[in-house]
Amino acid sequence: MVQTTNNLSDDNTKTRTAQTKTKVVRKSQVEVTALPSESAESLLRRFNREVVRSGIMKRLKELEFYEKPSKRRRKEDILKKYRASFDKDGDHHEEV
């Protein structure tokens, strides 16, 4: 039996309170339990798959360098326009 959890329980949540703002800081943890006859390579592969699914690495890459809010909004706008250029069937139609 595979037991995989992404712990975001109340035990791992810390709340910091300022005068008017409340900020919730969450720690996420990926756990993979080894099966009795599973090789180390297979266990590592399953662990890596769970890390990707949890989005931890994606979030770390986003936080690696500071991005000005204006540049972040510009990127989001470009991505919205790109996604809107696809129809329901997934065909891409460029605007001329």
CA distance 47 to 90: 32
Q: Which residues pair with 92 in a beta bridge?
A: 86
- Containing 68, the helix (H) or strand (E) segment is none
Scanning the structure block, which residue is given the tokens 């006859």?
37
Q: Which pLDDT score is estimated for 7?
A: 47
CA distance 43 to 87: 40
8 pLDDT higher than 90:
no
Total residue length of the chain? 96
Q: What is the pLDDT of residues 14-73, one digit of tens each?
A: 544 445 555 555 566 888 899 999 999 999 999 999 999 998 888 888 889 999 999 999
- Residue 9's pLDDT band, with cuts at 50, 70 and 90, is very low
pTM for the full model?
0.48
Phi then psi dihedrals of residue 86, to 5 deg: -95, 140
Q: Assign 10 to helix, strand or coil.
A: helix
Q: Provide the token pair at 67.
A: 């991005």
- Residue 91's pLDDT band, with cuts at 50, 70 and 90, is confident
Q: Which pLDDT score is estimated for 90?
A: 72
